[in-house]
Chain A
């Protein structure tokens, strides 16, 4: 149990360092870096590498934004197995809905509760 926490600390930290290097060394905007990470995540899942990575690192792999791309591809392919090529469109958000729905719902609640600064 402690080992899994330590592994996710190290793996998650290393992914964040990669993001920091993209911003600082290659002088890109944060939005570019995040979009790049999501695309990398979906490519990794297309190659079938992300699932073993999650088994290894746990939350170190699911918490960084790369898992968003992974979940998009995964949902699309899962649904495509059942309903053919149209399943890519039907199933795209099936596994990602937790992140997007909670961001939208909590965003609305936040806008209702909190006052903007300045």
Chain B
């Protein structure tokens, strides 16, 4: 059986993905995370000396701190199974990818395990983000 045929046969026997349910779940969970982020932003705006533009930084840091606790206690994985993209797209998903690989590879030692694998999942986001931004910033500089 060649590769193409295998894929078409395998595709036929895959259970259909519940598209509507997945979308509703990711809407609700993603929305709740962003709304929670907005609450944290408002908290920093009112009680600390941040402006509308700088308030994003402490908000992101707080969200990732919460993600660390949820990931460590194994709660984040359970939420992610229900929420799908709702937990991946917010910055908590980036945090989870980094923290989960750090914890998972702890058994291989701190240098080669944690140090070598901490960006295993999140590395592609950083690579393509930085490269695309570099090209775009150069284009914009040349054009203007």
Contacts and interface: CB of A to CB of B under 8 A. Distances in A.
Nearest to A103: B98
Contacts of B110: 111
Q: How large is the interface on A (under 10, 10 to 19, 20 to 34, 35 or more residues)?
A: 35 or more
Contacts of A23: 84-85
A48 to B, nearest CB: 9
A34 B27 CA distance: 16
B99 A39 contact: no
Contacts of B101: 107
A98 B60 CA distance: 7
Contacts, number: 257
Given A9-B32, A23-B84, A76 B133 contact: yes
A85 interface: yes
Contact of B35 (A6, A85, A92, A116): A6
B42 A12 contact: no
Given A72-B133, A103-B94, A114-B72, A64 B140 contact: no
Given A5-B35, A34-B124, A111-B106, A92 B85 contact: no
Interface of B: 17, 19, 22-23, 26-35, 37-42, 52, 56-61, 63-65, 67-68, 71-74, 84-86, 88-95, 98-99, 101-107, 110, 114, 118, 121-122, 124-130, 132-134, 136-141
